[in-house]
A and B are shown apart, each in its own frame.
Chain A
Protein backbone atom coordinates (compact mmCIF):
# COMPACT_ATOMS: atom_id res chain seq x y z
CA UNK A 1 0.00 0.00 0.00
CA UNK A 2 1.32 3.41 -0.92
CA UNK A 3 1.53 6.04 1.79
CA UNK A 4 2.27 9.75 2.01
CA UNK A 5 3.25 11.59 5.17
CA UNK A 6 1.10 14.52 6.21
CA UNK A 7 3.93 16.99 5.70
CA UNK A 8 4.76 15.63 2.26
CA UNK A 9 1.10 15.77 1.32
CA UNK A 10 0.86 19.43 2.31
CA UNK A 11 4.04 20.22 0.41
CA UNK A 12 2.67 18.46 -2.67
CA UNK A 13 -0.59 20.40 -2.44
CA UNK A 14 1.23 23.71 -1.99
CA UNK A 15 3.24 23.00 -5.12
CA UNK A 16 0.17 21.80 -6.97
CA UNK A 17 -1.68 25.02 -6.18
CA UNK A 18 1.02 26.88 -8.11
CA UNK A 19 0.63 24.74 -11.21
CA UNK A 20 -3.08 24.13 -11.50
CA UNK A 21 -6.31 25.45 -10.08
CA UNK A 22 -6.54 23.55 -6.83
CA UNK A 23 -10.08 23.16 -5.55
CA UNK A 24 -10.51 21.82 -2.04
CA UNK A 25 -12.94 21.85 0.86
CA UNK A 26 -12.50 25.12 2.65
CA UNK A 27 -14.44 26.95 5.35
CA UNK A 28 -15.85 30.23 4.08
CA UNK A 29 -18.07 33.01 5.32
CA UNK A 30 -18.17 34.96 8.55
CA UNK A 31 -17.81 33.17 11.89
CA UNK A 32 -21.09 34.44 13.24
CA UNK A 33 -23.69 35.18 10.61
CA UNK A 34 -27.01 35.67 12.32
CA UNK A 35 -26.54 35.85 16.09
CA UNK A 36 -29.37 34.34 18.06
CA UNK A 37 -30.85 32.60 15.04
CA UNK A 38 -31.89 28.98 15.39
CA UNK A 39 -30.59 28.22 11.93
CA UNK A 40 -27.59 25.86 12.10
CA UNK A 41 -26.29 27.34 8.84
CA UNK A 42 -25.99 30.70 10.57
CA UNK A 43 -23.86 29.44 13.43
CA UNK A 44 -20.49 29.50 11.80
CA UNK A 45 -18.45 29.05 8.69
CA UNK A 46 -19.61 26.54 6.12
CA UNK A 47 -17.45 24.26 4.02
CA UNK A 48 -17.53 24.49 0.23
CA UNK A 49 -15.27 23.25 -2.55
CA UNK A 50 -13.39 26.41 -3.48
CA UNK A 51 -10.15 27.28 -5.22
CA UNK A 52 -7.38 27.51 -2.63
CA UNK A 53 -3.89 28.95 -2.90
CA UNK A 54 -2.22 26.60 -0.42
CA UNK A 55 -2.87 23.60 1.80
CA UNK A 56 -3.41 25.65 4.95
CA UNK A 57 -6.83 26.73 3.65
CA UNK A 58 -8.08 23.18 3.43
CA UNK A 59 -10.69 22.10 5.97
CA UNK A 60 -9.33 18.65 6.76
CA UNK A 61 -11.94 17.65 9.27
CA UNK A 62 -14.97 18.46 7.12
CA UNK A 63 -17.90 16.10 6.89
CA UNK A 64 -19.47 17.04 3.60
CA UNK A 65 -19.62 20.38 1.83
CA UNK A 66 -22.87 22.35 1.69
CA UNK A 67 -22.99 22.22 -2.10
CA UNK A 68 -21.58 19.21 -3.88
CA UNK A 69 -18.57 19.29 -6.18
CA UNK A 70 -20.86 19.34 -9.19
CA UNK A 71 -20.81 23.14 -8.96
CA UNK A 72 -17.34 22.93 -10.48
CA UNK A 73 -18.53 20.95 -13.48
CA UNK A 74 -21.88 22.64 -13.95
CA UNK A 75 -21.41 26.04 -12.37
CA UNK A 76 -24.37 27.69 -10.75
CA UNK A 77 -24.09 30.33 -13.46
CA UNK A 78 -21.89 30.47 -16.49
CA UNK A 79 -21.70 32.78 -19.46
CA UNK A 80 -21.56 30.59 -22.54
CA UNK A 81 -20.68 33.45 -24.86
CA UNK A 82 -21.13 37.15 -25.36
CA UNK A 83 -21.97 39.08 -28.51
CA UNK A 84 -20.34 42.48 -28.68
CA UNK A 85 -19.82 45.23 -31.19
CA UNK A 86 -16.26 45.36 -32.49
CA UNK A 87 -14.20 48.50 -33.16
CA UNK A 88 -15.50 48.83 -36.73
CA UNK A 89 -19.08 48.17 -35.85
CA UNK A 90 -18.88 44.48 -36.70
CA UNK A 91 -20.46 41.82 -34.52
CA UNK A 92 -17.98 39.86 -32.45
CA UNK A 93 -18.79 36.62 -30.67
CA UNK A 94 -16.65 35.76 -27.66
CA UNK A 95 -16.86 32.21 -26.49
CA UNK A 96 -16.03 31.54 -22.88
CA UNK A 97 -12.37 30.61 -22.57
CA UNK A 98 -11.49 27.09 -21.62
CA UNK A 99 -10.25 26.60 -18.15
CA UNK A 100 -6.77 25.73 -17.01
CA UNK A 101 -6.24 22.23 -15.64
CA UNK A 102 -7.80 21.67 -12.27
CA UNK A 103 -7.44 19.26 -9.41
CA UNK A 104 -10.30 18.75 -7.04
CA UNK A 105 -8.76 17.61 -3.80
CA UNK A 106 -10.81 16.06 -1.05
CA UNK A 107 -13.81 15.09 -3.10
CA UNK A 108 -15.90 12.57 -1.22
CA UNK A 109 -16.56 9.22 -2.93
CA UNK A 110 -20.30 9.99 -3.14
CA UNK A 111 -19.75 13.33 -4.87
CA UNK A 112 -17.43 11.67 -7.38
CA UNK A 113 -20.02 8.98 -7.96
CA UNK A 114 -22.59 11.69 -8.62
CA UNK A 115 -20.58 12.66 -11.69
CA UNK A 116 -21.67 9.37 -13.28
CA UNK A 117 -25.15 10.81 -13.66
CA UNK A 118 -23.85 14.06 -15.06
CA UNK A 119 -21.55 12.18 -17.44
CA UNK A 120 -24.43 10.04 -18.63
CA UNK A 121 -26.53 13.05 -19.47
CA UNK A 122 -23.94 15.59 -20.57
CA UNK A 123 -21.23 13.46 -22.17
CA UNK A 124 -22.57 10.14 -23.27
CA UNK A 125 -25.57 11.50 -25.14
CA UNK A 126 -25.05 13.12 -28.51
CA UNK A 127 -24.29 15.94 -28.76
CA UNK A 128 -22.03 16.12 -25.73
CA UNK A 129 -22.05 19.33 -23.77
CA UNK A 130 -18.77 20.98 -24.72
CA UNK A 131 -18.54 23.14 -21.61
CA UNK A 132 -19.08 20.20 -19.31
CA UNK A 133 -16.79 17.97 -21.35
CA UNK A 134 -13.98 20.49 -21.21
CA UNK A 135 -14.24 20.85 -17.44
CA UNK A 136 -14.42 17.11 -16.94
CA UNK A 137 -11.43 16.46 -19.19
CA UNK A 138 -9.32 19.11 -17.48
CA UNK A 139 -10.05 17.98 -13.95
CA UNK A 140 -8.34 15.32 -11.89
CA UNK A 141 -10.18 14.03 -8.86
CA UNK A 142 -8.26 13.30 -5.68
CA UNK A 143 -10.75 11.69 -3.35
CA UNK A 144 -10.67 11.60 0.42
CA UNK A 145 -12.56 8.69 1.90
CA UNK A 146 -14.93 9.29 4.78
CA UNK A 147 -13.70 7.90 8.11
CA UNK A 148 -17.34 7.23 8.92
CA UNK A 149 -20.79 7.71 7.46
CA UNK A 150 -21.98 11.05 8.79
CA UNK A 151 -25.37 11.95 10.16
CA UNK A 152 -27.97 11.52 7.35
CA UNK A 153 -25.57 9.63 5.05
CA UNK A 154 -26.94 6.55 3.31
CA UNK A 155 -24.50 5.79 0.49
CA UNK A 156 -24.36 2.08 1.36
CA UNK A 157 -28.11 1.78 0.79
CA UNK A 158 -27.84 3.03 -2.78
CA UNK A 159 -24.77 1.08 -3.86
CA UNK A 160 -21.93 3.32 -2.70
CA UNK A 161 -19.44 3.18 0.13
CA UNK A 162 -17.72 5.84 2.22
CA UNK A 163 -14.35 4.58 0.99
CA UNK A 164 -15.23 3.67 -2.61
CA UNK A 165 -12.46 4.37 -5.09
CA UNK A 166 -14.54 3.72 -8.23
CA UNK A 167 -15.06 7.28 -9.41
CA UNK A 168 -11.90 9.13 -8.42
CA UNK A 169 -8.45 9.22 -9.99
CA UNK A 170 -6.62 8.91 -6.68
CA UNK A 171 -8.16 7.99 -3.35
CA UNK A 172 -6.59 9.07 -0.09
CA UNK A 173 -7.53 7.55 3.23
CA UNK A 174 -6.42 9.26 6.40
CA UNK A 175 -4.28 6.97 8.57
CA UNK A 176 -1.87 7.58 11.43
CA UNK A 177 0.75 10.12 10.32
CA UNK A 178 -0.53 10.65 6.81
CA UNK A 179 -2.67 9.16 4.10
CA UNK A 180 -2.86 5.82 2.39
CA UNK A 181 -2.85 6.38 -1.37
CA UNK A 182 -4.75 4.30 -3.91
CA UNK A 183 -4.00 5.25 -7.49
CA UNK A 184 -7.01 4.35 -9.57
CA UNK A 185 -6.64 5.72 -13.09
CA UNK A 186 -3.91 6.66 -15.55
CA UNK A 187 -4.77 10.29 -14.93
CA UNK A 188 -4.18 9.68 -11.26
CA UNK A 189 -0.92 7.90 -12.03
CA UNK A 190 0.33 10.95 -13.88
CA UNK A 191 -0.67 13.34 -11.08
CA UNK A 192 0.88 11.07 -8.45
CA UNK A 193 4.34 11.36 -10.00
CA UNK A 194 4.71 14.58 -8.05
CA UNK A 195 3.84 12.94 -4.74
CA UNK A 196 6.49 11.79 -2.33
CA UNK A 197 5.09 8.29 -1.97
CA UNK A 198 6.40 5.53 0.22
CA UNK A 199 5.60 1.86 -0.04
CA UNK A 200 4.47 0.58 3.36
CA UNK A 201 4.11 -3.15 3.78
CA UNK A 202 0.99 -4.36 5.51
CA UNK A 203 -0.64 -0.93 5.88
CA UNK A 204 -4.22 -1.58 6.80
CA UNK A 205 -6.98 0.76 5.82
CA UNK A 206 -9.31 1.71 8.68
CA UNK A 207 -12.83 0.42 8.30
CA UNK A 208 -15.33 3.30 8.23
CA UNK A 209 -18.18 3.24 10.72
CA UNK A 210 -21.36 2.57 8.75
CA UNK A 211 -24.93 3.70 9.19
CA UNK A 212 -27.76 1.18 9.04
CA UNK A 213 -28.54 0.00 5.56
CA UNK A 214 -32.16 -0.04 4.42
CA UNK A 215 -34.24 -1.50 1.62
CA UNK A 216 -35.08 0.73 -1.34
CA UNK A 217 -38.23 0.24 -3.41
CA UNK A 218 -38.22 -2.17 -6.30
CA UNK A 219 -38.95 -1.13 -9.87
CA UNK A 220 -42.48 -2.56 -9.50
CA UNK A 221 -43.06 -0.56 -6.36
CA UNK A 222 -42.02 2.63 -8.11
CA UNK A 223 -44.30 1.92 -11.02
CA UNK A 224 -47.22 1.12 -8.74
CA UNK A 225 -46.82 4.20 -6.55
CA UNK A 226 -46.98 6.95 -9.14
CA UNK A 227 -50.58 7.99 -8.54
CA UNK A 228 -50.57 7.24 -4.86
CA UNK A 229 -52.06 9.66 -2.34
CA UNK A 230 -48.76 9.22 -0.49
CA UNK A 231 -47.22 11.99 -2.60
CA UNK A 232 -49.92 14.40 -1.52
CA UNK A 233 -49.20 13.57 2.09
CA UNK A 234 -45.46 14.18 1.74
CA UNK A 235 -46.20 17.21 -0.41
CA UNK A 236 -48.40 18.68 2.32
CA UNK A 237 -45.28 19.60 4.21
CA UNK A 238 -43.06 20.55 1.27
CA UNK A 239 -42.36 24.25 0.88
CA UNK A 240 -41.47 23.84 -2.80
CA UNK A 241 -38.13 25.61 -2.36
CA UNK A 242 -35.10 24.55 -4.31
CA UNK A 243 -32.72 23.59 -1.55
CA UNK A 244 -32.80 19.83 -2.15
CA UNK A 245 -32.12 20.19 -5.86
CA UNK A 246 -29.36 22.74 -5.40
CA UNK A 247 -27.38 20.77 -2.84
CA UNK A 248 -27.81 17.52 -4.78
CA UNK A 249 -24.73 16.07 -6.53
CA UNK A 250 -26.80 14.54 -9.32
CA UNK A 251 -29.38 17.23 -10.10
CA UNK A 252 -28.42 18.83 -13.35
CA UNK A 253 -31.33 20.87 -14.69
CA UNK A 254 -30.46 24.21 -16.14
CA UNK A 255 -31.99 27.13 -17.90
CA UNK A 256 -30.47 29.21 -20.68
CA UNK A 257 -31.31 32.82 -21.40
CA UNK A 258 -29.97 35.54 -23.62
CA UNK A 259 -29.66 38.78 -21.73
CA UNK A 260 -28.94 42.23 -23.06
CA UNK A 261 -26.76 44.06 -20.60
CA UNK A 262 -24.98 47.36 -20.38
CA UNK A 263 -21.43 46.91 -19.13
CA UNK A 264 -19.99 49.34 -16.58
CA UNK A 265 -18.21 51.06 -19.44
CA UNK A 266 -21.52 51.70 -21.15
CA UNK A 267 -21.30 49.10 -23.92
CA UNK A 268 -24.38 47.16 -24.80
CA UNK A 269 -23.71 43.46 -25.12
CA UNK A 270 -25.68 40.25 -25.37
CA UNK A 271 -24.77 37.49 -23.01
CA UNK A 272 -25.97 33.90 -23.10
CA UNK A 273 -26.27 32.73 -19.54
CA UNK A 274 -26.74 29.21 -18.32
CA UNK A 275 -27.84 28.80 -14.72
CA UNK A 276 -29.16 26.08 -12.49
CA UNK A 277 -32.85 25.46 -12.60
CA UNK A 278 -34.98 23.27 -10.39
CA UNK A 279 -37.90 20.95 -10.99
CA UNK A 280 -39.35 22.25 -7.72
CA UNK A 281 -39.98 25.65 -9.23
CA UNK A 282 -43.57 26.46 -10.16
CA UNK A 283 -42.90 27.40 -13.74
CA UNK A 284 -40.20 24.83 -14.45
CA UNK A 285 -42.43 22.77 -16.66
CA UNK A 286 -44.68 25.44 -18.19
CA UNK A 287 -45.20 24.88 -21.90
CA UNK A 288 -45.53 27.52 -24.53
CA UNK A 289 -49.21 28.35 -24.41
CA UNK A 290 -49.35 28.16 -20.65
CA UNK A 291 -50.15 24.52 -19.95
CA UNK A 292 -48.30 23.19 -16.92
CA UNK A 293 -48.26 19.40 -16.66
CA UNK A 294 -46.68 19.63 -13.21
CA UNK A 295 -48.71 22.44 -11.77
CA UNK A 296 -49.16 20.91 -8.33
CA UNK A 297 -46.58 20.90 -5.65
CA UNK A 298 -46.85 17.17 -4.95
CA UNK A 299 -46.29 16.42 -8.62
CA UNK A 300 -43.09 18.42 -8.52
CA UNK A 301 -41.95 16.76 -5.32
CA UNK A 302 -42.77 13.34 -6.74
CA UNK A 303 -40.74 14.15 -9.82
CA UNK A 304 -37.63 14.59 -7.73
CA UNK A 305 -37.94 11.05 -6.42
CA UNK A 306 -38.91 9.47 -9.73
CA UNK A 307 -36.10 11.29 -11.48
CA UNK A 308 -33.51 9.84 -9.10
CA UNK A 309 -34.90 6.34 -8.76
CA UNK A 310 -36.78 5.63 -11.93
CA UNK A 311 -36.14 7.95 -14.87
CA UNK A 312 -32.35 8.13 -14.56
CA UNK A 313 -31.79 4.42 -13.90
CA UNK A 314 -34.12 3.46 -16.76
CA UNK A 315 -32.90 6.02 -19.27
CA UNK A 316 -29.19 6.04 -18.51
CA UNK A 317 -28.56 2.86 -16.54
CA UNK A 318 -26.92 4.61 -13.59
CA UNK A 319 -28.17 5.10 -10.05
CA UNK A 320 -29.67 8.56 -9.73
CA UNK A 321 -28.98 9.03 -6.03
CA UNK A 322 -25.61 8.60 -4.34
CA UNK A 323 -26.83 8.82 -0.75
CA UNK A 324 -24.81 11.85 0.29
CA UNK A 325 -27.62 12.92 2.61
CA UNK A 326 -27.37 16.62 1.81
CA UNK A 327 -31.06 17.00 0.99
CA UNK A 328 -31.96 15.31 4.27
CA UNK A 329 -29.81 17.67 6.30
CA UNK A 330 -30.82 20.76 4.38
CA UNK A 331 -34.59 20.31 4.10
CA UNK A 332 -36.22 22.91 6.34
CA UNK A 333 -39.32 20.77 6.84
CA UNK A 334 -37.54 17.43 7.24
CA UNK A 335 -38.65 15.69 4.07
CA UNK A 336 -36.33 12.75 4.47
CA UNK A 337 -35.51 10.83 1.32
CA UNK A 338 -34.64 7.78 3.45
CA UNK A 339 -38.06 7.84 5.06
CA UNK A 340 -39.79 8.11 1.67
CA UNK A 341 -37.74 5.22 0.25
CA UNK A 342 -38.50 3.02 3.22
CA UNK A 343 -42.20 3.91 3.17
CA UNK A 344 -42.43 2.94 -0.48
CA UNK A 345 -40.32 -0.19 -0.04
CA UNK A 346 -42.72 -1.39 2.64
CA UNK A 347 -45.70 -1.18 0.33
CA UNK A 348 -47.44 -4.36 -0.60
CA UNK A 349 -48.02 -4.76 -4.28
CA UNK A 350 -51.55 -5.55 -5.34
Chain B
Protein backbone atom coordinates (compact mmCIF):
# COMPACT_ATOMS: atom_id res chain seq x y z
CA UNK B 1 0.00 0.00 0.00
CA UNK B 2 2.73 2.44 0.95
CA UNK B 3 4.38 1.93 -2.44
CA UNK B 4 1.08 2.94 -4.09
CA UNK B 5 0.87 6.03 -1.93
CA UNK B 6 4.47 7.05 -2.67
CA UNK B 7 4.10 6.44 -6.40
CA UNK B 8 0.91 8.46 -6.50
CA UNK B 9 2.45 11.26 -4.46
CA UNK B 10 5.48 11.35 -6.75
CA UNK B 11 3.29 11.51 -9.82
CA UNK B 12 1.11 14.28 -8.41
CA UNK B 13 4.13 16.36 -7.47
CA UNK B 14 6.03 15.74 -10.69
CA UNK B 15 3.07 16.66 -12.84
CA UNK B 16 2.38 19.66 -10.69
CA UNK B 17 -1.18 18.52 -10.03
CA UNK B 18 -0.65 19.45 -6.40
CA UNK B 19 1.74 21.73 -4.58
CA UNK B 20 2.05 19.55 -1.54
CA UNK B 21 1.10 16.08 -0.33
CA UNK B 22 0.09 15.80 3.30
CA UNK B 23 0.80 12.37 4.70
CA UNK B 24 2.62 10.75 7.58
CA UNK B 25 6.27 10.23 8.38
CA UNK B 26 8.37 8.95 11.24
CA UNK B 27 10.19 11.69 13.11
CA UNK B 28 13.82 11.44 14.27
CA UNK B 29 12.78 9.92 17.60
CA UNK B 30 10.50 7.33 16.06
CA UNK B 31 7.22 9.16 16.57
CA UNK B 32 4.71 9.22 13.75
CA UNK B 33 3.74 12.72 12.70
CA UNK B 34 2.11 14.61 9.83
CA UNK B 35 4.44 15.12 6.87
CA UNK B 36 4.25 17.81 4.20
CA UNK B 37 5.95 16.71 1.03
CA UNK B 38 6.69 19.34 -1.63
CA UNK B 39 9.42 17.61 -3.64
CA UNK B 40 9.05 14.33 -5.57
CA UNK B 41 12.37 13.22 -4.09
CA UNK B 42 10.92 13.41 -0.59
CA UNK B 43 8.07 10.95 -1.09
CA UNK B 44 10.18 8.17 0.42
CA UNK B 45 9.54 9.81 3.78
CA UNK B 46 5.88 8.88 3.58
CA UNK B 47 4.57 5.97 5.59
CA UNK B 48 1.18 4.59 6.45
CA UNK B 49 0.37 2.13 9.20
CA UNK B 50 -1.77 1.71 12.30
CA UNK B 51 0.03 4.52 14.12
CA UNK B 52 -1.10 7.23 11.69
CA UNK B 53 -3.91 8.50 13.85
CA UNK B 54 -3.66 12.26 13.12
CA UNK B 55 -6.55 13.71 11.16
CA UNK B 56 -4.75 15.58 8.39
CA UNK B 57 -7.93 17.28 7.21
CA UNK B 58 -7.27 19.78 10.00
CA UNK B 59 -4.59 21.37 7.83
CA UNK B 60 -6.82 21.91 4.82
CA UNK B 61 -8.83 24.92 5.97
CA UNK B 62 -5.56 26.73 6.58
CA UNK B 63 -4.20 25.84 3.13
CA UNK B 64 -7.44 26.74 1.40
CA UNK B 65 -6.87 30.42 1.88
CA UNK B 66 -4.81 32.52 -0.51
CA UNK B 67 -1.46 33.30 1.14
CA UNK B 68 -1.49 36.78 -0.26
CA UNK B 69 -4.40 38.81 -1.47
CA UNK B 70 -5.26 37.89 -5.05
CA UNK B 71 -2.99 34.84 -5.06
CA UNK B 72 -4.46 31.57 -6.20
CA UNK B 73 -5.18 28.87 -3.66
CA UNK B 74 -2.76 25.97 -4.17
CA UNK B 75 -4.02 22.44 -4.61
CA UNK B 76 -3.13 20.05 -1.82
CA UNK B 77 -3.25 16.28 -1.75
CA UNK B 78 -4.18 14.74 1.55
CA UNK B 79 -4.23 11.21 2.93
CA UNK B 80 -7.57 10.43 4.52
CA UNK B 81 -8.85 7.53 6.57
CA UNK B 82 -12.62 6.93 6.65
CA UNK B 83 -13.11 9.09 9.76
CA UNK B 84 -10.96 11.86 8.29
CA UNK B 85 -13.02 11.67 5.09
CA UNK B 86 -16.20 12.29 7.04
CA UNK B 87 -14.73 15.43 8.57
CA UNK B 88 -13.59 16.51 5.11
CA UNK B 89 -17.14 16.03 3.85
CA UNK B 90 -18.35 18.32 6.62
CA UNK B 91 -15.86 20.98 5.51
CA UNK B 92 -16.94 20.58 1.89
CA UNK B 93 -20.58 20.90 2.91
CA UNK B 94 -19.74 24.12 4.72
CA UNK B 95 -17.65 25.53 1.87
CA UNK B 96 -14.52 25.65 3.99
CA UNK B 97 -12.54 23.63 1.47
CA UNK B 98 -12.87 23.90 -2.29
CA UNK B 99 -13.29 20.43 -3.75
CA UNK B 100 -11.10 21.22 -6.78
CA UNK B 101 -8.29 22.45 -4.56
CA UNK B 102 -7.95 19.20 -2.68
CA UNK B 103 -6.83 15.88 -4.07
CA UNK B 104 -8.12 13.17 -1.78
CA UNK B 105 -5.94 10.09 -1.39
CA UNK B 106 -8.21 7.64 0.39
CA UNK B 107 -6.53 4.87 2.34
CA UNK B 108 -8.09 1.56 3.20
CA UNK B 109 -7.91 1.79 6.96
CA UNK B 110 -6.54 -1.10 8.99
CA UNK B 111 -7.85 0.53 12.17
CA UNK B 112 -5.51 2.51 14.39
CA UNK B 113 -3.55 0.98 17.23
CA UNK B 114 -2.42 2.18 20.61
CA UNK B 115 1.24 2.17 21.58
CA UNK B 116 0.87 -1.32 23.07
CA UNK B 117 -0.51 -2.76 19.83
CA UNK B 118 -4.12 -3.03 20.99
CA UNK B 119 -6.70 -1.51 18.65
CA UNK B 120 -7.92 1.96 19.49
CA UNK B 121 -11.31 1.63 21.11
CA UNK B 122 -12.93 3.96 18.59
CA UNK B 123 -11.68 1.78 15.75
CA UNK B 124 -13.31 -1.32 17.23
CA UNK B 125 -16.63 0.51 16.96
CA UNK B 126 -16.09 1.65 13.39
CA UNK B 127 -17.37 -0.33 10.44
CA UNK B 128 -15.93 1.88 7.71
CA UNK B 129 -12.70 0.70 6.19
CA UNK B 130 -12.95 2.70 2.98
CA UNK B 131 -13.43 6.48 2.96
CA UNK B 132 -16.75 7.68 1.59
CA UNK B 133 -15.02 10.22 -0.64
CA UNK B 134 -11.69 10.00 -2.40
CA UNK B 135 -10.07 10.65 -5.75
CA UNK B 136 -7.88 7.58 -5.57
CA UNK B 137 -8.07 4.72 -3.13
CA UNK B 138 -4.85 3.09 -1.95
CA UNK B 139 -4.72 -0.34 -0.36
CA UNK B 140 -7.01 -3.32 -0.16
CA UNK B 141 -9.84 -2.83 2.27
CA UNK B 142 -9.53 -5.37 5.08
CA UNK B 143 -12.50 -7.49 6.06
CA UNK B 144 -14.15 -6.25 9.20
CA UNK B 145 -16.91 -7.87 11.14
CA UNK B 146 -20.08 -5.79 11.04
CA UNK B 147 -20.19 -3.77 14.24
CA UNK B 148 -22.84 -1.47 15.60
CA UNK B 149 -21.80 1.37 17.81
CA UNK B 150 -23.82 0.87 20.97
CA UNK B 151 -22.54 4.03 22.67
CA UNK B 152 -21.96 1.94 25.77
CA UNK B 153 -19.35 4.42 27.01
CA UNK B 154 -21.86 7.26 26.83
CA UNK B 155 -24.56 5.14 28.40
CA UNK B 156 -22.34 4.34 31.33
CA UNK B 157 -22.21 8.04 32.18
CA UNK B 158 -25.91 8.50 31.46
CA UNK B 159 -26.72 5.79 33.98
CA UNK B 160 -25.03 7.64 36.86
CA UNK B 161 -27.17 9.69 39.24
CA UNK B 162 -27.37 13.37 38.36
CA UNK B 163 -25.06 14.52 41.17
CA UNK B 164 -22.42 11.99 40.22
CA UNK B 165 -22.53 13.07 36.61
CA UNK B 166 -21.97 16.66 37.63
CA UNK B 167 -19.13 15.67 39.94
CA UNK B 168 -17.58 13.49 37.24
CA UNK B 169 -17.59 16.23 34.63
CA UNK B 170 -16.41 18.94 36.96
CA UNK B 171 -13.53 16.69 37.95
CA UNK B 172 -12.61 15.90 34.37
CA UNK B 173 -12.96 19.42 33.03
CA UNK B 174 -11.10 20.92 35.97
CA UNK B 175 -7.94 19.30 34.67
CA UNK B 176 -8.18 21.38 31.49
CA UNK B 177 -5.37 23.91 31.14
CA UNK B 178 -7.04 25.82 28.30
CA UNK B 179 -4.27 25.02 25.86
CA UNK B 180 -6.92 24.67 23.13
CA UNK B 181 -5.13 21.71 21.58
CA UNK B 182 -8.49 19.96 21.23
CA UNK B 183 -9.85 22.84 19.23
CA UNK B 184 -6.73 23.26 17.12
CA UNK B 185 -6.52 19.57 16.28
CA UNK B 186 -10.19 19.47 15.33
CA UNK B 187 -10.80 19.72 11.59
CA UNK B 188 -14.28 21.13 12.05
CA UNK B 189 -13.23 23.82 14.56
CA UNK B 190 -12.11 26.40 12.04
CA UNK B 191 -13.26 29.82 13.28
CA UNK B 192 -10.50 32.35 12.80
CA UNK B 193 -11.02 33.66 16.33
CA UNK B 194 -12.65 31.28 18.79
CA UNK B 195 -15.33 32.83 20.94
CA UNK B 196 -13.52 31.45 23.97
CA UNK B 197 -10.50 33.53 23.01
CA UNK B 198 -12.03 36.83 22.03
CA UNK B 199 -10.22 39.88 23.26
CA UNK B 200 -13.40 41.35 24.66
CA UNK B 201 -14.10 38.21 26.75
CA UNK B 202 -17.70 38.42 25.58
CA UNK B 203 -18.55 34.86 26.56
CA UNK B 204 -15.59 33.38 28.35
CA UNK B 205 -13.05 35.21 30.52
CA UNK B 206 -9.34 34.45 30.55
CA UNK B 207 -9.21 32.75 33.94
CA UNK B 208 -8.37 29.10 34.30
CA UNK B 209 -11.32 28.21 36.53
CA UNK B 210 -14.06 25.62 36.29
CA UNK B 211 -16.76 27.99 34.99
CA UNK B 212 -14.68 29.15 32.05
CA UNK B 213 -13.38 25.68 31.27
CA UNK B 214 -16.77 23.99 31.45
CA UNK B 215 -18.30 26.72 29.34
CA UNK B 216 -15.65 26.30 26.68
CA UNK B 217 -16.00 22.53 26.47
CA UNK B 218 -19.79 22.58 26.43
CA UNK B 219 -20.01 25.15 23.67
CA UNK B 220 -17.31 23.40 21.66
CA UNK B 221 -19.15 20.10 21.87
CA UNK B 222 -22.38 21.80 20.91
CA UNK B 223 -20.84 23.59 17.97
CA UNK B 224 -19.77 20.15 16.78
CA UNK B 225 -23.33 18.83 16.91
CA UNK B 226 -23.99 17.04 13.64
CA UNK B 227 -20.47 17.97 12.52
CA UNK B 228 -18.17 15.85 14.67
CA UNK B 229 -16.94 12.91 12.62
CA UNK B 230 -15.65 11.15 15.77
CA UNK B 231 -12.08 11.07 14.56
CA UNK B 232 -11.01 11.55 18.19
CA UNK B 233 -8.28 14.04 17.33
CA UNK B 234 -9.32 16.20 20.30
CA UNK B 235 -9.03 13.40 22.81
CA UNK B 236 -5.78 12.12 21.34
CA UNK B 237 -3.99 15.45 21.77
CA UNK B 238 -5.29 16.49 25.19
CA UNK B 239 -2.23 16.83 27.44
CA UNK B 240 -4.43 16.24 30.48
CA UNK B 241 -6.14 13.13 29.15
CA UNK B 242 -9.67 14.49 29.35
CA UNK B 243 -12.15 12.02 27.77
CA UNK B 244 -13.50 14.57 25.33
CA UNK B 245 -14.96 11.90 23.06
CA UNK B 246 -17.53 11.19 25.75
CA UNK B 247 -19.01 14.65 25.27
CA UNK B 248 -18.83 14.66 21.49
CA UNK B 249 -20.21 11.16 21.22
CA UNK B 250 -23.10 12.01 23.51
CA UNK B 251 -24.06 14.84 21.18
CA UNK B 252 -23.58 12.64 18.09
CA UNK B 253 -25.75 9.95 19.65
CA UNK B 254 -28.52 12.42 20.43
CA UNK B 255 -28.36 14.02 17.01
CA UNK B 256 -28.71 10.60 15.38
CA UNK B 257 -31.62 9.71 17.65
CA UNK B 258 -33.48 12.96 17.25
CA UNK B 259 -32.68 13.89 13.67
CA UNK B 260 -33.59 10.77 11.71
CA UNK B 261 -30.28 8.94 12.10
CA UNK B 262 -28.15 11.82 10.85
CA UNK B 263 -24.42 11.12 11.05
CA UNK B 264 -21.85 13.79 10.38
CA UNK B 265 -20.03 13.65 7.08
CA UNK B 266 -21.98 10.79 5.57
CA UNK B 267 -23.95 12.93 3.14
CA UNK B 268 -23.86 16.31 1.49
CA UNK B 269 -26.55 17.54 3.86
CA UNK B 270 -25.25 20.05 6.39
CA UNK B 271 -25.81 19.50 10.11
CA UNK B 272 -29.56 19.35 10.87
CA UNK B 273 -29.04 22.02 13.49
CA UNK B 274 -28.89 24.64 10.77
CA UNK B 275 -31.65 23.29 8.53
CA UNK B 276 -35.44 23.29 8.54
CA UNK B 277 -37.59 20.57 10.01
CA UNK B 278 -38.27 17.76 7.58
CA UNK B 279 -41.00 16.04 9.54
CA UNK B 280 -38.79 12.99 10.12
CA UNK B 281 -37.31 14.21 13.37
CA UNK B 282 -38.07 12.56 16.68
CA UNK B 283 -37.54 15.57 18.85
CA UNK B 284 -38.07 15.24 22.59
CA UNK B 285 -40.62 17.13 24.49
CA UNK B 286 -39.42 20.68 24.73
CA UNK B 287 -40.13 21.05 28.43
Contacts and interface: CB of A to CB of B under 8 A. Distances in A.
A123 B183 CA distance: 35
Interface stretch (B10-18, B127-135, B239-247, B274-282): B239-247
B27 A336 contact: yes
Given A240-B184, A259-B201, 15 more contacts: A33-B172, A37-B235, A38-B115, A42-B235, A42-B243, A77-B206, A237-B36, A239-B184, A246-B179, A257-B206, A259-B207, A282-B192, A332-B54, A332-B237, A336-B28
A311 to B, nearest CB: 22
A268 interface: no
Contacts of B262: none
Interface residues of B, number: 59
A29, A237, A240, A282, most chain B CB atoms within 10 A: A237
Which of B172, B177, B207 is most buried by chain A, counting CB atoms within 10 A of its CB?
A: B207
Please give me the 7 A-B residue pairs with the lowest Cβ-Cβ distance, nearest first. Answer: A36-B121, A42-B241, A34-B243, A241-B181, A41-B241, A332-B237, A334-B33
Interface of B: 20, 27-29, 31-36, 53-54, 58-59, 62, 112-115, 120-122, 124, 153, 171-172, 175, 177-181, 183-185, 192-193, 197-199, 201, 205-209, 232, 235-246
B36 A30 contact: no
Contacts of B120: 36-38
Contacts of A30: 171
A38 B112 contact: yes
Contacts of B179: 241-243, 246, 278
Interface in A14-49: 29-30, 33-43, 46
Interface in A68-84: 76-77
A45 B172 CA distance: 12
A182 to B, nearest CB: 33
Contacts of B121: 35-37
Interface in A108-156: 152
Nearest to B121: A36
Given A237-B33, A334-B27, A41 B53 contact: no
A42 B207 contact: no
Given A236-B36, A283-B197, A334-B33, A273 B235 contact: no
